[in-house]
Amino acid sequence: MILAGEIHNSASLPLDQRALLASLIMSDDNAEQPSTNKKSPASMKDDWGSSLRTSRKALFDKKDFDIFCDREMNETFIFYNTDLHYSIDYLEYNPENQRVTVFTTDGQQLDLGTRIQWLIRPYFAKPQIIIMARTKNGKVVEGFEVRLKVKTLEEQVLN
């Protein structure tokens, strides 16, 4: 069992233990929510205007990853359940279109795979370290840290 005081001191834990802790908290959060039978759109992209779509290839399909922001630990996690076919250099969040661009070490630019929803946008509004954690059967098997840059207003105007 994890005590509330332990959560605040978790920054000193190794990366794999922090990711495990976040996945446990995330699964507890999901367990408390009542299930609803809402009909979802056929595709996440169908739910937004064309100005918010991207022409870049996506790193993940929407079903292959989840984003978890823990304000108590002040950390953001991206849990994914597929193999990465790219080595990630850094991520860049664009507040104008609420999308994250993945910059690979070989110079490619990919879209993360979804628009960042309003509830977690404040966590993406500042440069930080994101923890990418690969999961298998609901358990964290490996992870790494990657920088998140935030595109400035000047950079948005130039592009």
Burial environment of residue 67 by CB neighbours within 10 A (0 to 12, 13 to 18, 19 or more): buried
Q: What are phi and psi of 100, to 5 degrees?
A: -115, 125
Q: What's the pTM value of the predicted model, to 2 decimals?
A: 0.68
Walk along the chain (159 residues) and give the pLDDT tens digit of each residue. Answer: 333 334 444 556 777 777 776 766 665 554 444 444 444 444 444 444 444 456 789 898 888 999 999 888 889 999 999 999 899 999 999 999 999 999 999 999 999 999 999 999 998 889 999 999 999 998 999 999 999 999 986 665 565
